Amino acid sequence: MYQNNEDIRDEFLYRLNNEEFVIDKTGVKTIEIINANFEVTEPTIFGKRNEDYIKREIEWYESQSLFVQDIPGETPKIWEQVASNIGVINSNYGYLVYSNDQWNQFDNVVKELNKNPDSRRANMIYTRPAIWQDAFVDDMSDFICTNNVQYFIRDNKLITSVNMRSNDVVFGFNNDYAWQTHIRNKLHAALDVTYELGPIYWNVGSLHIYERHFNLIKEWEGNFAEDIKQRVWAIEREIQEERRKELARQPEFNFNG
């Protein structure tokens, strides 16, 4: 298991430097970590979050609409590409956890944790066996990426365990983590007892980065090297300052008698 975001960045850099590439179904070069598991310690791994889009996507998820044209503002091309002929998709995460069609999973998790805080059943299931057919209806290409998210209350903390089939480490992770934080916070507020916010663990079958984003790995490497340089420089200055202080504290000796 990797420990945190930093470990994941290190692993991608190692694989890039060793040219450990995987070619995906479209012929694009990727770097892939199979069975990546880590505690999320930062909201991004590579790149910056698009806060405007995240806000719009969460608003759309909350609406539970399966139509991509209902995304506020301009519909991202990726959603248009995976949607059916009439603009329908499967992966509205709000629909998957809130709706009656999907068994009111959010409400059931709230009830379960209120009834039994030690439960191992507080599980929101995003995908479904029928996805093998549902993913391709009317020229759709939307095989849900999130498998399930399980919640635990241990040591007075609400702990989140996200389990994903596939996750792009740039756009995918940044947006998915924003949603999982949002839904975790809503769950936290809905519980009868106030618990501490515990860690969010991220478990991915295929965590990957596309060649068009390899530059972000190198950019991080450069920033990391500069950060190390600055830290070493600061430590050296502290050591020099301590030496000066030590010399200043030493008594002066008069050898002339």
- Residues 19-48: pLDDT tens digits? 999 999 899 999 999 999 999 999 999 999
- Read off the pLDDT band of 245 (50, 70, 90): confident
- Its pTM surpasses 0.85: yes
The per-residue b/e assignment along 120-136, b for 16 or more CB within 10 angstroms, e otherwise, is eebbbbbbeeebeeebe
Q: Which CATH superfamily is domain 5-222 in?
A: Thymidylate synthase/dCMP hydroxymethylase domain (3.30.572.10)
Across the range 241-246, mean pLDDT stands at 81
DSSP string over 69-93? GGSSSSPPHHHHHHS-TTSB-S--H
∠ at Cα 79 (208, 69), nearest 5°?
Answer: 160
pLDDT of residue 244: 80
Neighbours of 165 (CB within 10 A): 15
Residue 183 has pLDDT above 70, yes or no: yes
Q: 145, 149, 153, 217: which one is catalytic?
A: 145
Do 90 and 134 touch, CB atoms closer than 8 A?
yes
Q: How far apart are CA 51 and CA 92, in angstroms?
A: 18
Torsion of CA 26, 32, 37, 38, to 10 degrees: -110
Strands 157-168 and 146-154, bridge-based pairing: antiparallel
Residue 249 pLDDT: 82
Average pLDDT of every residue of the chain: 93
Question: Would the pLDDT of 239 be above 90?
Answer: no
**Could you tell me which residue, 232 or 182, shows the higher pLDDT?**
182
The predicted pLDDT at position 223 comes to 77
Question: Is residue 46 annotated as a catalytic residue, yes or no?
Answer: no
Q: What is the pLDDT of residue 243?
A: 80
**Could you write out the DSSP letters of every residue in 1-67?**
---SHHHHHHHHHHHHHTT--EE-TTS-EEEEEEEEEEE--SS-SSS---HHHHHHHHHHHHHT--B
CA-CA distance, 217 to 46, in Å (whole number)?
Answer: 7
Backbone CA torsion sign across 105, 78, 49, 19: positive
